[in-house]
Amino acid sequence: MAQVPFAPEVFTWPAESPQLIGARCGSCAAVTFPAQDACPRCGKLEMARHLLPREGTLWTWTTQEFLPKA
């Protein structure tokens, strides 16, 4: 069975070293995940694709107890 990524816009898989895909503001350098069209810090529309590091610190998380909308 072939492996198919469920959300190709979220991470670079299949790849040797997959990474999450975020966005970085060209004006204030804020980084977001997932990628956004507008910067949450300054509101400008200068967001560009930005590959996130493979290691870091997890500050918070949540769980989803229901199926996502189709």
Q: What pLDDT sits at residue 7?
A: 81
Sheet holding 31-32, edge to edge: 31-32, 21-25, 47-51
Closest by Cα among 66, 23, 20 to 46: 23
pLDDT at 15: 85
Tell me the per-residue pLDDT of 8-21, one tens digit each, with 9 for 90 and over: 889 998 889 999 99
Q: How confident is the model at residue 44 (pLDDT cuts 50, 70, 90)?
A: very high
Across the range 59-70, mean pLDDT stands at 85
pTM of the model as a whole: 0.74
